[in-house]
Amino acid sequence: MSKGSVKESDLRAFWSSKLSGREYESTDGRIVRVKFPGFENEEAGPDFLNGLIEVEGLEISGDIELHRLESDWQAHGHHQEESYQNVILHVVLQADGPQAETIAGKRVTTISLAQNLGERLPSLVELAKEEREWALPCPASPPFEEIHRILEELGRERLRKKAARFKEALGERGDLDQLIYEGLAEALGYPKNKGPMAELARRLTFARAREEPELEKLTELLLSEAAKVKGWSSLGMRPANLPRPRIMGLASLVFRFREEGLARPLLAALAEPEAPTLLPRLFTVKGLIGPGRGRVIAINVALPIGLVTLPEREAKLLAIWEALPPEPMNKVLKRMRKRLLDHLEGGERLLKRAHLQQGLIELYQRYCYLTLCGPCPIRAASDLKGCSLEDP
């Protein structure tokens, strides 16, 4: 691999590895020490969140963005996006100017990997790709039943966290239909257009959108409003996931529920015995929103909303939660399958239910991403005395 063949995904692999934690010289001659590269962001916005760097002795925390070229910052429009205003470090392969600036005009410290690492960069990238934490099997090996129990508990905790966020948002908005509408928009935009879709739903509210008597005109209205929203991404997406069809899907859902609203049919579906299969179907639109995305909406919107609005029925809602079919595989689930499940007898069964998948995602975000084996419940349930990436 030559420097010229290094892709942005290769840069992400390098940056998320322990190899990125070193000292660099910025393009303006300052010493930058990377103390924590940040959490890799699977959604819209900067590539890494909540990183920690030290610039000439001063610690700074914030987000980190990666590009092949320094000029990509401006070419991608990040200088006009509020979601990039907390970026503290711009990591590029080649520095070709101009220096990145946030929407507020703050200049962003930039380091060039080619300038700092030279001919070593391709070999470091290859090493990072081989040694990514999620590519290594977990050395802890508790029984299947213990892992199942842990994932159930973590899945419930994750559901309650989602419900808490919806409850807080409902307190701010006071409009359940609007809250569900924004949740639908975010779920349809996941992962790369989650932010822009939510912004679109705030700009053109459900109350306004439901007044449109024709689907074609409603779709045009949403697309027109979407043109005013910054930050849309189309890179590396399948055609069905592009912004336009997802916006058309949102328009179809608004049109479907324009008379009775969104809250009433959602809560009615939660009361049905067939709720685990009925909920995903409620939010599918032929040719625009498939069953997989319908399941994502049921997991991330319908059940958390149910816990907020029907707290007295928590036990029944949790039973629905545990009966929901799985969502489509994503990057985190694939990583956790490789890390934890591939060498576990019957491990694939843990991917067959949505609540266990959610437990895997919570396990990854809490422990596996940062290799926090000490407090990890998987380690505690195992006979292993020590747990680290260095264990044989």
CA dist 88 and 86 (Å) reads 6
The predicted model scores a pTM of: 0.75
Output the pLDDT for position 206.
98
Beta bridge partners of 107: 101
Judge if the upstream peptide bond of residue 122 is cis by omega within 30 degrees of 0.
Answer: no
35-39 long-range contacts, CB within 8 A, separation 24+: 35/59, 37/64, 38/63, 38/64, 39/365, 39/369
Output the pLDDT for position 386.
43
Q: What is the pLDDT of residues 282-305, one digit of tens each?
A: 999 999 999 999 999 999 999 999
- Tokens 């437990």 correspond to 359
Output the pLDDT for position 392.
29
Residue ranges, the chain, pLDDT below 50 = 1, 3, 384-392
Output the pLDDT for position 383.
61
**Is the distance from CB of 250 to CB of 180 less than 8 angstroms?**
no
Output the pLDDT for position 41.
83
Output the pLDDT for position 135.
55
DSSP per residue, 31-64 = EEEEEE--EEP-SSS-SEEEEEEEETTEEEEEEE
Domains in the chain: boundaries = 3-131, 146-323
Backbone region of residue 371 per phi and psi (left: phi > 0; alpha: psi in -120 to 50; beta: other values): left
Output the pLDDT for position 372.
75
Amino acid (one-letter) located at 261: G
Q: What is the pLDDT of residues 168-214, one digit of tens each?
A: 999 998 999 999 999 999 999 977 788 899 999 999 999 999 999 99
